[in-house]
Structure 1
Amino acid sequence: MPVFDWCAHRNKFSRVGSGRPQKLDVVDLHRTHDPASDDPEIVGFRDRALDHRELSRVLPLLTWPAPPQMRMNQGIEGDIRPLALRFLLLTCARLDELVVMKWNDFKEDTLHWHKPAVKTVRGKPRQQYLPLSGAAVALLTSLPNYGTWRKSDLVFPNSAGHFLGNWHRITKAVHRESQTDNWHRHDLRRTGASIMKALGVAPRTVDEILAHRATHRDEGTSAALENYFASTHLLEHVVDPQRAAFDKLAEALDYIERSGSQFA
């Protein structure tokens, strides 16, 4: 759409492109009918989330060392992908955010995960300071590289210290051993969000966690003001709604995992 509009000096490019001598008569995609809207085979956006029965079978596999039955090439001691999947579930994060996470992004003094750039529904990527639950912090401090890392090291590296990969294979192994199917890594993010909503977490808070809204812009405040309140300890007795939501999520997941046998 932007390329065609630029060529045609259309919409926001009507003034920017007015100085160009040539104007092309190209189709306006804003006015073009999408044939997919009439296709009965297309059911819309994906809404897959794991239920409590599926989670009760999946969660025991998301550990480190990796369960021996997963039979991964890296060996159970070197494969932290199952635990990384649990971290995705606890934080409702995207896989590409987790893969590039460095120890410098884990703010241990405030228990936040600083994401330098996250996708947003509208607009350019922005940074996010995500408060972590006690369960997520405990997971990070249980990693084999915790305590020996440098700031630039990846939190979830492969055995060579590089980016983790081959996620399709580990997901298929979890499918096989948990006897579940038809879900992938991004569905863990949706599952966590669904659980929080079911537990009564405000939709706005869930949106903030998913980075669907830039809260300080919405409310007319600033990140500098938020940091000032934090540094002057004015927020010490204020419960962060996102952290409270994550604590509820972690508690629910723990209950499902401990009660797994009753769902069989």
Structure 2
Amino acid sequence: MATVRLTDASIRKIITDAAGGTRAELTDATTTGLKIRATKDGRAVWSIKLRDQAGNQIRINLGEYPAVGISDARQACSIARHQVRHEGKIPNVEKSAAREAAMAPAVPTDAGLSLSGLIDLYDKQVWTPNALKSRAEAINRIGSVFGKFLDRSLKSITRAELQIAVDDWPAKSSSAAAVRYVRPVLKWAAKRDYAAADMALLEEPRWLRKRSRFLNKDELHKLLPVLKASTRPHAAVMRLLLLTATRLEQAAQARWHEFRTVEGQMIWTIPPERVKRTKPTQAPRPHIIPLSRQAAALIEGRGAERSQSDDLIFQTSSSLVLGNWDKEAKVIQKAAGVHDWHRHDLRRTAATSMGALGIAPHVIEAALGHAEIHSALAGIYNQSRYSDEVREALQKLADWLDAICTCQVTVHTPRVRPLPGQGLWAANC
């Protein structure tokens, strides 16, 4: 059992090692008693080992990584140590007792700020207009999962009660989203003494598996010819997702004025309002993408539909933003014989493919448009977005995709009304 200054890299390594059948554990060199143990099922659990006031040695579970990050685990460790040694409390035992208490109807109280009042206050002071793109969804998710606590005083709510509400919520993706949205609110409240310091240490449902689907080379070999053969704008958007690693709404809502050519290089500038922001304090900025030759050709090929600079590049016959994505994706999946993938999986496929091609991780992060492409400290000093490296990476990706798409395909699409001349798809990549 090694003692090191814990980092995300060191934790990922022991998770990988544990997957091979060896249980691994690390002790944090900076926080007394903090440990993380990885098991062969891919889990990594935080804990603190210490003695209680009676001298008995106990181990307290602090949550799972990455739902509980390193800084949160260190904070939880300090809080747990203080509770055990100075207050005589054992958090795990209290959580079991709180589960029984949570079964009883909540008793509203007027003593202090309520959870609903906190959300309103946070909304006014932090979630200012456009500060968080998913603001409305955040309020809705929190209200759904933690609805029975909204009218209760924050001082009367325990972390265990909130955690139980998360654990018992039937829709795990919804409860996980509620946790991600409410944690920063509770951290903000704790700093102002509206709530207990440990309230924000909630875990997402541990049985929730984040989607990791991407298309391999054989699947791309089947899919790419179908995308190229189709005259549907949806297929063109999907090709652009693969070539640029962008999000669906960024590509589907692209307009002509966002593209310009500089010294023979086409540049796509995605405006800040379509760039995902995960933190309210994150400054809005555009995402600038140097397009590969293939992506530039795809955009130029849509030129016949252009009339005004503000027109959509990909649009319906009524000049509206594309819809019916599930239906269109199923048609393409059936035609290609490649199933069980979503549009966002194409972005993951592009990123994974660049990694397989030897592109450096920080360059892939920059290509994806992520705000943080280094560690938090390195990001303060190094503001480079590696535009030259991103251009080379996207071109290398496009060339690799072209090399895969070297077959000829003929596909019938039954029960789908084709556009003129599209009943039979045929493409030579």
Task: Give the alignment's TM-score, normalised by structure 2.
Answer: 0.46
Aligned partner of 1:12 among 181, 185, 188 = 188
Per-residue CA deviation, residues 193-248 of structure 1 (Å, 9 max, x unaligned), is 1111101101000001111235799364779xx9xxxxxxxxxxx98111100111
Per-residue CA deviation, residues 58-108 of structure 1 (Å, 9 max, x unaligned), is 1011126x2xxxxxxxxx5xx311111101110011001112211011122
Separation (CA, whole Å) in 1 of partners of 2:238 and 2:390 = 20
Which residue of structure 2 lines up, in the alignment, with residue 119 of structure 1? 276
Separation (CA, whole Å) in 1 of partners of 2:251 and 2:387 = 25
Q: Is the 8 A contact 1:99 1:156 kept in 2?
A: yes
Aligned partner of 2:291 among 113, 132, 137 = 132
Which residue of structure 2 lines up, in the alignment, with residue 52 of structure 1? 217
Q: CA deviation at 1:13?
A: 4.2
Give the share of equivalent positions with the same residue, in percent: 30
Separation (CA, whole Å) in 2 of partners of 1:54 and 1:126 = 35
Q: Is the 8 A contact 1:53 1:260 kept in 2?
A: no
- Any unmatched runs of 5+ in structure 1? 67-75, 227-237
- Any unmatched runs of 5+ in structure 2? 1-114, 123-152, 156-185, 410-429
Q: CA deviation at 1:120?
A: 4.2
Which residue of structure 1 lines up, in the alignment, with residue 359 of structure 2? 201
Cα distance, 1:150–1:47 mapped onto 2, change above 3 Å: same
Cα distance, 1:203–1:153 mapped onto 2, change above 3 Å: same
Which residue of structure 1 lines up, in the alignment, with residue 316 of structure 2? 158
Secondary structure in 1 matching 2:402 = helix
Higher relative contact order (CA 8 A, sep 6+): 1
Cα distance, 1:32–1:128 mapped onto 2, change above 3 Å: closer
Alpha-carbon RMSD across the aligned residues, in angstroms, is 3.3
Separation (CA, whole Å) in 2 of partners of 1:32 and 1:183 = 31
Aligned partner of 2:398 among 246, 250, 262 = 250
Q: CA deviation at 1:149?
A: 2.8
- Aligned pairs for 1:26-175 within 5 A: 29-34=199-204, 36-37=205-206, 39=207, 42=208, 44-63=209-228, 66=230, 76=231, 79-109=232-262, 110-117=265-272, 118-122=275-279, 124=282, 125-145=284-304, 148-175=306-333
Which residue of structure 2 lines up, in the alignment, with residue 218 of structure 1? 379
Cα distance, 1:222–1:193 mapped onto 2, change above 3 Å: closer
Cα distance, 1:52–1:220 mapped onto 2, change above 3 Å: same
Higher strand share: 2
Per-residue CA deviation, residues 17-56 of structure 1 (Å, 9 max, x unaligned), is 68xxxx6x7896423454x22x3xx3x2111110111111
Q: Give the length in aligned residue pairs.
A: 224
Per-residue CA deviation, residues 131-186 of structure 1 (Å, 9 max, x unaligned), is 1111100110111535x431111111111111011111111011111111110110
